C-alpha cells in the first residue's frame, strides 16, 4: 500500500468577482505553473491531474476562452503537463476541492500512481447564463421560420417575445446556489439553521467580525503570503476587510425579510484556484521533496443529511469519520471548516460542543465549550473574509490547515465542508 | 569651519555652566544652538522659578557675547560665527513643558502681592526672548501647556510634532487664575482675538488642541514628524516662513475697537451663560485678552494686576487646592507591594461593563469581556469601536493605535465562563441583583486562580453580602466606577471586613493603572460616598418640587449658580428617571430617616416616553445630549400645580447634602473630608468653586481661607 503525503500547495489570491477578467483555466494554470517552478521534476513525475470545479465546465465556441467540460485536462495541457498524463474533474459541489486530493490520495494508496496534482478551481465571475428548454425551442422555431421566410410566423414569434428576441436566461450563479429538492436558496437554509439552533443576528455578526479580524491579522502578519502566488498583479485576498466594525455589520439589512443572514455573515462570491502536490511518501523522499502532512484515505468521510439542513452535513461526516477511525474530537488540534455562512459553522459547533447531541451521534466527548472550540476553528479566518470559490475552497482548507499545523506543531487536523444538497465531507490529516 | 564648530560647542559648555535644567543638544556642523529642558526627578517638565532664572541667565550671557562680538570677521568673536538660531526644546519625549509648578503658587496664594515681582521677572524674560537679536524657535515635542506654551509663544517661531502625543493648551482658567506669563497678550497677537478667547476660555475645561489644529489657528508655524523636529526648526528659523498669512488679516480686523468690544462682550455673555458667572478668572481672562491692542509692556503690566487679582479670589484658592488633592489621590500608595494585575477581564458588557472594558484597553491591557447575552456584546463592540473611531477623528489616536487597541479586546458570550481562566483581575459589572451576582461570581471563581481578584462595580449592594456567596470571599473588593467609566475620572473603592489586604492593594494599583482618581472608602455602606450624598440632595430637591411647589428649573439654575456643575433635575434626566427612581428608592429604604416621608409613595416614572435624556424628554427637552429648554408639561405629569421660584430651597437642598457628608465622615465611612470633597467634585460636579462640600480644611492651608473673595 502506498502512503500518500501532501508535499506542497499553492493558491492564487482569492479575488472578489469582477476583480480580474480571467477564466477558470487561467487561474488553474497559474497555480500548476507555480508548482512546476518549485519542483522542476514535476512534469516527469506527475501521473494524474484531478480537478475540482463546479460552474466553469461549459463549452465555449470561442476557443480563446479555453474552459471546457473536463477543465482539469485543459489546465494540464495548458500548463505544459505531458499529454500522456490523464486528467479528470470531480464535482461534489462545495466539497469538490477536498474530493480531488482525496481522489489522488486514493490512487496513490492503491499504488496506481506515485504522484498527482489536485487542482481546485472556480471562477465565479465567469459563470454562464443558461437558456432553458422552452427558450431553446423558441429559438429553434424562430430559426426555422426565418429559414422558410414565414413572415406571419416570425411576427407572431416577435409578439410572443415582446417584439424583441426574448431573452430569459437562467443565471448559473443563482441556480447553483439554490437547492432544487428543498427549493430553498442557500441563505434561506442559513436562516433556517439559525432558527433551529437559536442563533441570533448578534451571534452571526460576531462570528463574521471574528472571521474578518482573524483573516486581517493573518494577512497583515504575512501568514497568507506563504500560500499565495501572485496572479494578474494581485498579491492578496481582497475580500478581507481591514478594520471591519460591528456597527458596519449591524447596519446591513438581512438577505430575506425576518432573516438573520446578511452579506456580512455569509461567504463572498470569489474567484480562485488551489493546486496541491500529492505523492507517495517513499517517492517524495526519494525525490527530495518536503512533506507537509500525511493523508490517509480512510481518514475521510462523506455523509448526507436533509438538503434543507445542508449546513450540518459536516457533523454527519465527522460522526462517520470518528466511528470509522476511532479518533476523538479532542484529537484534532486545529479544525478548518468552510464558512459558507456564519450560521453553518455556529450550528456545527452547537452540535459538536453539546454533550447530549454528541452522545446521540455516538461520537463520545464533545469539544468543550464554544469559546474553547473557537480557539481551534478557523484560526486564520475563513470564507466570510476570504471568499468561497466553490470548487477551490476544499483544497484551500487543506492547504491552510497543513501549513497552520506545521506552524503550531499540531499533530492532527480536520478539514470539513458543508455541501449544498445536504452533504458533508471531512478529512483528517497528520503532520509529519 | 572646524574652528567655528569648536567655538559653538565650547560656547554651549560655557553657557550651561552650573545649570541643572537646560542642556545643550549636540548639533550638526551648523551655527545653531539647541537647548533642551530636562527637569531632573520629574516625569514631566515643569516651569519652576529656577528653570526660568537659568534660561534668563543663559540668554543674558548670549546677549553679552553678541554685544562684544564684532562684525569684523578677523576678530576673535566674529558675528558670522555667532549662533544664528537658538532652538528651545525638551529632552523628555512626549513632554515639552506641562506648565508652571503649581506648588510654587502656594506661597503666592497667601501673599498675592509677591506674585507681582515674580511675574515681572517672567515678563522680562519674555521680552528678552522676543527682542533677541537672533531668532529663537520653540520645538514642541509633546505636552505643551500653560507656562510652557507661553514660553513657546514668546519665541519667534513654533514647530510642533504632529500626532496624538502633542497637546497644546492654556488650562490656567481651570485653576481659577489667568495665563500670567504673557499668554493673554501674545496669544491674541498670534491667532487673533476670537481664537485666543476660545483657547484660553476652553482651558477652563482643560481642553487641549493638537498640533494640526494649532497650525490651522496660526499658533504653530509648522507641523513635522518627530525625527525631523530640530532640523525643521532650524530650517524654519533660517528661512523665516511664518504661518500667519491668513491669520494676520483677522488679527488686524479683530483689533479694531468696535469689533474688539463686540467680541469681548459676546464672550462675556457666553461665559455668564455657560459658567453661570461664578468663576471670576474667566472674566479677568477676557478683560486681560481685551488689552491686546495696547503696547506689549502695558498689556503685560495689566495682565500682572489681573493675575494678582485672580490669586486673591476664593475660587483660585479652591481650584488650586483641588489640583493638589487630585495629585495626592492619584499618588496614593498601597500599604504593601503586590504583583500588578496584568490580564484583566470584565464580566457583564452593559453600559458600565463596556465603558470599563474600553477604559482598560485604552490603558494597554489585554482585556476579555464577557456577557451572557450576545446582543450585549454586539452593543458593547459597537460602542467601543465607535469610541475608537471618534478618538481617531479627534486626533487623539492614530488609526494604527486604534487598531492595536481594538486588538487588545477579546470577548465571549453565553453560558460558559471558561475564557476567564488565567485572568488575574476581574471587574464584575452585571445587573444589580444580589442572587445573580452571587451565582455568577461563584461560577466565575471555578475558572480563576487563587490569587485572582474580583472587583464588583456596585454601590447599592454591600460587598460583604456578595462575598457570602463566594468560595473565597477574601478576593472580593468593590470598585465603583461612574458612568461613562472611560470619561469620569473617579473610582470609589472599598473592601469588606474579610477582603485580603493584597486584594485591596491590587485594586488600588488597578485603579491607578487605569489612570483613575481612587477614593478609598474605609467602611462599606450602601451607596458609598457619592451616591449617598447626591441621592439625599436629590430626595430633598424632589421634595421641594412636590411639597413646596418650587419651580424645578429655577432651583436647577439657582443650584448651578451656587456651584453645582449640573442641577439635580438635569442630572436626574441624564441618569434616566427609571434608574434614578430605583436608586432613590433603594437609598430611601436603606436610610429612611434621611429622606422625606413623601418620597415613599411618590411615583416619578409615570410615562414611558418621559424618562429623561434617553427618551428626549424629562424635566428638560433633550437634543443631541444637551438640555435645550424646560419641559413645562412635567408639572402636569407630576401633578404639581402652581410652582413658584423660591431661593430658600437652595440652602435646604445643600444642607441635606452637607448633613449626609458629615454623617459619612462621622460614621467613619470615609475618614478624610478632603477625599469626600474630591469624590463629590469628580463624581457629581458638586461645587468645585467651593472645593466640594466641606471646603478647604484649616490644616491644609491655614490662611488661604482667610481671604475674602474680591
| Spatial separation of the C-alpha atoms in residues A182 and B218, rounded to whole Å | 69
With an 8 Å Cβ cutoff, is B398 touching chain A?
Answer: no
Chain A contact probe: residue of B354, B358, B374 with most A CBs at under 10 A = B374
Determine whether A115 is an active site residue: no
Q: What is the DSSP track for A206-267?
A: HHHHHHHHHHHHHHHTTTGGGTB--BTTB-S-TT--TT--HHHHHHSPPSSTT----GGGBP
Q: Which residue has the cell 474680591?
A: B710
pLDDT of residue B609: 81
Q: Name the residue among B514, B355, B488 with its Cα closest to residue B425.
A: B514
With an 8 Å Cβ cutoff, is B399 touching chain A?
Answer: yes
Burial class (CB in 10 A: 0-12, 13-18, 19+), B29: exposed
With an 8 Å Cβ cutoff, is B413 touching chain A?
Answer: yes
| Spatial separation of the C-alpha atoms in residues A420 and A424, rounded to whole Å | 9
- Whole-prediction pTM value? 0.85
ipTM, 2 dp: 0.85
Q: B18: which DSSP letter?
A: T
Average pLDDT value over all residues in chain B: 84
Q: Give the residues across from B145 on adjacent strands.
A: B169
With an 8 Å Cβ cutoff, is A243 touching chain B?
Answer: yes
Q: Which residue of B has its CA nearest to A203?
A: B374
Per DSSP, the three-state class of B207 is coil
Interface contact flag, B386 A247, Cβ < 8 Å: yes
Residue A361 contacts residue A315 (beta carbons within 8 Å): yes
Residue B524 contacts residue B462 (beta carbons within 8 Å): yes
pLDDT of residue B700: 46
Interface contact flag, B377 A370, Cβ < 8 Å: no
| Spatial separation of the C-alpha atoms in residues B425 and B455, rounded to whole Å | 7
Mean pLDDT computed over B420-448: 90
Catalytic site residue from A48, A94, A115, A358: A94
Interface contact flag, A246 B419, Cβ < 8 Å: no
Interface contact flag, A202 B375, Cβ < 8 Å: yes
Angle at A14 between CA A12 and CA A18, to 5 degrees: 110
Per DSSP, the three-state class of A49 is strand
Q: Which residue of A has its CA nearest to B372?
A: A203
Interface contact flag, A202 B378, Cβ < 8 Å: yes
Residue from the list A206, A217, A368 with its beta carbon closest to the beta carbon of B378 = A206
| One pLDDT digit (tens) per residue for chain A, 432 residues | 889 999 999 999 999 998 998 888 999 999 999 999 999 999 999 999 999 998 887 656 555 666 678 899 999 998 999 999 999 999 998 999 999 999 999 999 999 999 999 999 999 988 888 888 877 887 888 788 888 877 777 777 776 655 555 567 888 888 888 988 888 999 899 999 999 999 999 999 999 999 999 999 999 999 998 899 999 899 999 999 998 999 999 999 999 988 999 999 999 999 999 999 999 999 999 999 999 999 998 899 999 999 999 999 999 999 999 999 999 999 999 999 999 999 999 999 999 999 999 999 888 888 888 888 999 999 999 999 999 999 999 999 999 999 999 999 999 999 999 998 899 999 999 998
- B 318-377: CB under 8 A from A: 373-375, 377
Interface contact flag, A209 B381, Cβ < 8 Å: yes
Q: Which residue has the cell 439625599?
A: B536
Interface contact flag, A206 B377, Cβ < 8 Å: yes
With an 8 Å Cβ cutoff, is A282 touching chain B?
Answer: no
H helix or E strand, kind and range, residue B376: helix B374-394
Angle at B146 between CA B144 and CA B152, to 5 degrees: 55
Residue from the list B382, B399, B419 with its beta carbon closest to the beta carbon of A371 = B419
Instruction: List CB contacts (< 8 A) between B373 and chain A.
Output: 202
> What is the per-residue pLDDT across B145-191, written as a single tens digit (0 to 9) for each?
888 898 888 888 888 888 888 889 888 888 888 888 888 888 888 88
With an 8 Å Cβ cutoff, is A247 touching chain B?
Answer: yes
Instruction: List CB contacts (< 8 A) between B403 and chain A.
Output: 242-243
Q: B706 CB contacts (<8 Å, ≥6 apart)? A: none
The strands making up B136-140's β-sheet, listed across from edge to edge, are B22-24, B32-37, B85-90, B136-140, B157-161, B222-224
Determine whether A388 is an active site residue: yes
Interface contact flag, B385 A246, Cβ < 8 Å: yes
Distance from the Cα of A251 to chain B's closest Cα (Å) equals: 11
How remote is the C-alpha of B547 from its chain's centroid?
39
How remote is the C-alpha of B691 from its chain's centroid?
16
Interface contact flag, B418 A243, Cβ < 8 Å: no
Amino acid at each position: 500500500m502506498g502512503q500518500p503525503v501532501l508535499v506542497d500547495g499553492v493558491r492564487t489570491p482569492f479575488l472578489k468577482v469582477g476583480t480580474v477578467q480571467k477564466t477558470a483555466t487561467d487561474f488553474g494554470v497559474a497555480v500548476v505553473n507555480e508548482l512546476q517552478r518549485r519542483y522542476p521534476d514535476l512534469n516527469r513525475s506527475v501521473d494524474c491531474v484531478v480537478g475540482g470545479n463546479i460552474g466553469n465546465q461549459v463549452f465555449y465556441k470561442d476557443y480563446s476562452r479555453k474552459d471546457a467540460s473536463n477543465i482539469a485536462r485543459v489546465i494540464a495541457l495548458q500548463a505544459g503537463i505531458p499529454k500522456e498524463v490523464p486528467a479528470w474533474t470531480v464535482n461534489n459541489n462545495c466539497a469538490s476541492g477536498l474530493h480531488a486530493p482525496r481522489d489522488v490520495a486514493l490512487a496513490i494508496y492503491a499504488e496506481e500512481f506515485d504522484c498527482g496534482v489536485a487542482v481546485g478551481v472556480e471562477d465565479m465571475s465567469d459563470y454562464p447564463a443558461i437558456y432553458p428548454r422552452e427558450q431553446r425551442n423558441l429559438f429553434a422555431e424562430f430559426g426555422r421560420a426565418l429559414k422558410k421566410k414565414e413572415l406571419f410566423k416570425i411576427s407572431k414569434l416577435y409578439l410572443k417575445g415582446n417584439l424583441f428576441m426574448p431573452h430569459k436566461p437562467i443565471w448559473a450563479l443563482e441556480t447553483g446556489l439554490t437547492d432544487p429538492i428543498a427549493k430553498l436558496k442557500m441563505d434561506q437554509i442559513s436562516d433556517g439553521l439559525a432558527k433551529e439552533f437559536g442563533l441570533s443576528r448578534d451571534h452571526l455578526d460576531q462570528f463574521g467580525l471574528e472571521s474578518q479580524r482573524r483573516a486581517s491579522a493573518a494577512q497583515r502578519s504575512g501568514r497568507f503570503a506563504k500560500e499565495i502566488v501572485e496572479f494578474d498583479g494581485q498579491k492578496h485576498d481582497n475580500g478581507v476587510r481591514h478594520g471591519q466594525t460591528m456597527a458596519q455589520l449591524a447596519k446591513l439589512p438581512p438577505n430575506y425579510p425576518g432573516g438573520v443572514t446578511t452579506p456580512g455573515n455569509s461567504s463572498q462570491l470569489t474567484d480562485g484556484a488551489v493546486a496541491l502536490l500529492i505523492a507517495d511518501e517513499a517517492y517524495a523522499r526519494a525525490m527530495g521533496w518536503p512533506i507537509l502532512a500525511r493523508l490517509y484515505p480512510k481518514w475521510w468521510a462523506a455523509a448526507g443529511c436533509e438538503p434543507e439542513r445542508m449546513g450540518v452535513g459536516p457533523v454527519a461526516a465527522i460522526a462517520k469519520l470518528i466511528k470509522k477511525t476511532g479518533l476523538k474530537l479532542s484529537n484534532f488540534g486545529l479544525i478548518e471548516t468552510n464558512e459558507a455562512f456564519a450560521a453553518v459553522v455556529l450550528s456545527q459547533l452547537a452540535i459538536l460542543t453539546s454533550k447530549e447531541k454528541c452522545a446521540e451521534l455516538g461520537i463520545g466527548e464533545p469539544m468543550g465549550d464554544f469559546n474553547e472550540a473557537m480557539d481551534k476553528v478557523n484560526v486564520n479566518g475563513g470564507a466570510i473574509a476570504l471568499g468561497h470559490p466553490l470548487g477551490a475552497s476544499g483544497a484551500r482548507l487543506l492547504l491552510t490547515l497543513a501549513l497552520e499545523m506545521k506552524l503550531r506543531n499540531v499533530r492532527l487536523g480536520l478539514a470539513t465542508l458543508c455541501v449544498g444538497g445536504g452533504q458533508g465531507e471531512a478529512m483528517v490529516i497528520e503532520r509529519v | 569651519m572646524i574652528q567655528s564648530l569648536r567655538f559653538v560647542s565650547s560656547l554651549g559648555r560655557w553657557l550651561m555652566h552650573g545649570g541643572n535644567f537646560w542642556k545643550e543638544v549636540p548639533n550638526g556642523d551648523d551655527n545653531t544652538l539647541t537647548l533642551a529642558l530636562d527637569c531632573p526627578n520629574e516625569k514631566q517638565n515643569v516651569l519652576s522659578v529656577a528653570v526660568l532664572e537659568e534660561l534668563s541667565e543663559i540668554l543674558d550671557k548670549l546677549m553679552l557675547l553678541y554685544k562684544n562680538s564684532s562684525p569684523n570677521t578677523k576678530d576673535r568673536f566674529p558675528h558670522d560665527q555667532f549662533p544664528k538660531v537658538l532652538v528651545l526644546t525638551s529632552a523628555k519625549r512626549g513632554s515639552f513643558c506641562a506648565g508652571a509648578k503649581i506648588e510654587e503658587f502656594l506661597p503666592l496664594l497667601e501673599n498675592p502681592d509677591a506674585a507681582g515681582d515674580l511675574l515681572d521677572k517672567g515678563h522680562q524674560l519674555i521680552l528678552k526672548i522676543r527682542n533677541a537679536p537672533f531668532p529663537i524657535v520653540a520645538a514642541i515635542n509633546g505636552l505643551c501647556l500653560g507656562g510652557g506654551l507661553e514660553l513657546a509663544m514668546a519665541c519667534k517661531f513654533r514647530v510642533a510634532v504632529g500626532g496624538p502625543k502633542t497637546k497644546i493648551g492654556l488650562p490656567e482658567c481651570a485653576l481659577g487664575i489667568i495665563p500670567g506669563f504673557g499668554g493673554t497678550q501674545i496669544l491674541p497677537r498670534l491667532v487673533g482675538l476670537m481664537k485666543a478667547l476660545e483657547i484660553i476660555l476652553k482651558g477652563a475645561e482643560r481642553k487641549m488642541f493638537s498640533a494640526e489644529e494649532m497650525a490651522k489657528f496660526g499658533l504653530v508655524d509648522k507641523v513635522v514628524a518627530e525625527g525631523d523636529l530640530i532640523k525643521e526648526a532650524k530650517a524654519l528659523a533660517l528661512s523665516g516662513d511664518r504661518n500667519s498669512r491668513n491669520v494676520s488679516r483677522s488679527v488686524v480686523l479683530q483689533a479694531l475697537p468696535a469689533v474688539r468690544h463686540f467680541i469681548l462682550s459676546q464672550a462675556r455673555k457666553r461665559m455668564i451663560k455657560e459658567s453661570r458667572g461664578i468663576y471670576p478668572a474667566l472674566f479677568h481672562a477676557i478683560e486681560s485678552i481685551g488689552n491686546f491692542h495696547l503696547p506689549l509692556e502695558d498689556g503685560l503690566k495689566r495682565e500682572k494686576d489681573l493675575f494678582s487679582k485672580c490669586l486673591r479670589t476664593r475660587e483660585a484658592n479652591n481650584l488650586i487646592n483641588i489640583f493638589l488633592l487630585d495629585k495626592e489621590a492619584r499618588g496614593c500608595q498601597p500599604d504593601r507591594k503586590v504583583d500588578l494585575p496584568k490580564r484583566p477581564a470584565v464580566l457583564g458588557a452593559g453600559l458600565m461593563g463596556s465603558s470599563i472594558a474600553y477604559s482598560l484597553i485604552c490603558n494597554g491591557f489585554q482585556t476579555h469581556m464577557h456577557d451572557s447575552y450576545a446582543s450585549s456584546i454586539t452593543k458593547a463592540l459597537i460602542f467601543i469601536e465607535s469610541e475608537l473611531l471618534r478618538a481617531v477623528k479627534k486626533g487623539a489616536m492614530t488609526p494604527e493605535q486604534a487598531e492595536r487597541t481594538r486588538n487588545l479586546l477579546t470577548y465571549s458570550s453565553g453560558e460558559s465562563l471558561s475564557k476567564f481562566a488565567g485572568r488575574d483581575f476581574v471587574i464584575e459589572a452585571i445587573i444589580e441583583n444580589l442572587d445573580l451576582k452571587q451565582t455568577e461570581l461563584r461560577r466565575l471563581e471555578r475558572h480563576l486562580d487563587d490569587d485572582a481578584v474580583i472587583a464588583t462595580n456596585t454601590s447599592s449592594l454591600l460587598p460583604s453580602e456578595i462575598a457570602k456567596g463566594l468560595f473565597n470571599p477574601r478576593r472580593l473588593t468593590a470598585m465603583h466606577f461612574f458612568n461613562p467609566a472611560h470619561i469620569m475620572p473617579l473610582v470609589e473603592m472599598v473592601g469588606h471586613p474579610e477582603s485580603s489586604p493584597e486584594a485591596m492593594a491590587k485594586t488600588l494599583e488597578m485603579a491607578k493603572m487605569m489612570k483613575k482618581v481612587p477614593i478609598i472608602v474605609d467602611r462599606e455602606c450602601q451607596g458609598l460616598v457619592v451616591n449617598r450624598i447626591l441621592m439625599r440632595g436629590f430626595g430633598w430637591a424632589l421634595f421641594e418640587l412636590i411639597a413646596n411647589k418650587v419651580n424645578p428649573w429655577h432651583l436647577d439654575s439657582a443650584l448651578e449658580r451656587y456651584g453645582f456643575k449640573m442641577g439635580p433635575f438635569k442630572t436626574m434626566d441624564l441618569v434616566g428617571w427609571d434608574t434614578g427612581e430605583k436608586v432613590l428608592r433603594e437609598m430611601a429604604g436603606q436610610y429612611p430617616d434621611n429622606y422625606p416621608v413623601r418620597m415613599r409613595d411618590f411615583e416619578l416614572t409615570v410615562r414611558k416616553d418621559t424618562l429623561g435624556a434617553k427618551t428626549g424628554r424629562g424635566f428638560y427637552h433633550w437634543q443631541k445630549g444637551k438640555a435645550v429648554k424646560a419641559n413645562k408639561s412635567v408639572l402636569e405629569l407630576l401633578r404639581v400645580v402652581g410652582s413658584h421660584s423660591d431661593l430658600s430651597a437652595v440652602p435646604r437642598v445643600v444642607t441635606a447634602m452637607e448633613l449626609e457628608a458629615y454623617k459619612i465622615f462621622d460614621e467613619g465611612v470615609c475618614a478624610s473630608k478632603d477625599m469626600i470633597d474630591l469624590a463629590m467634585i469628580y463624581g457629581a460636579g458638586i461645587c468645585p468653586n467651593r472645593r466640594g462640600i466641606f471646603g478647604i480644611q484649616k490644616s491644609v492651608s491655614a490662611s488661604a481661607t482667610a481671604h475674602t473673595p474680591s
